[in-house]
Structure 1
Amino acid sequence: PEPEPEAPEPVTAKGLPKRTPKITTPVEAPRQRSGSVDAEVLRRRLGGFRRGAEAGRRDVEVEITEETGPHRTPSTAVTATSEEATGGTVEEATS
């Protein structure tokens, strides 16, 4: 008994294999929660999260201030003069 010749894979006009969608079994819908939520407990937990986020922002601002120290970002006047001296921005030079 000779093995049956395999059917050639369908290909596109450019010779690439055609994509065939894979059929999957549907996923069960998540169960509905049976318990209720205590509004006061939720408010307390979310308030704690908010206070923690605000404290984190303050800490980051202090760290950035300590790292940069007396350094300040250049003003727009300094940028304008440097562009005049060099003949423009990098984008203008490459175009």
Structure 2
Amino acid sequence: MVNVFIYLKSTHNAKELVELLLAEKLIASASIDENNISYKMAEEKIIQNVYSVITAQSKSLLLPEIIKLTEQKYGGDVPINCSPIVGSNNAFLATILTKTIPT
């Protein structure tokens, strides 16, 4: 099980992507953080970006399909990463197992 973090430009429709990923059973659940401000250094300058960050729960084996679908819809420059879910209760585990496609 993993948390998948998708950083969409604020001009993209995060809700639309969440609905698509849910319909395809690639994720079990998700939340959207609007107006997330991110900072990084580029050529000795601080750059600020505003994102809609999707945090979705899924299976690690589905990550390549999540990336593929997201890149097909929004291009290859969408930052995506994931982190493992180290522990959970049975209700959370059941949600992941029953709401996503079998792997």
Normalised to the residue count of structure 2, the TM-score between the two structures is: 0.15
The structure with more strand, counted as a fraction of residues = 2
Normalised to the residue count of structure 1, the TM-score between the two structures is: 0.16
The structure with more helix, counted as a fraction of residues = 1
Q: Which of 1 and 2 has greater Rg?
A: 1
Greater RCO (Cα-Cα under 8 Å, separation 6 or more) = 2
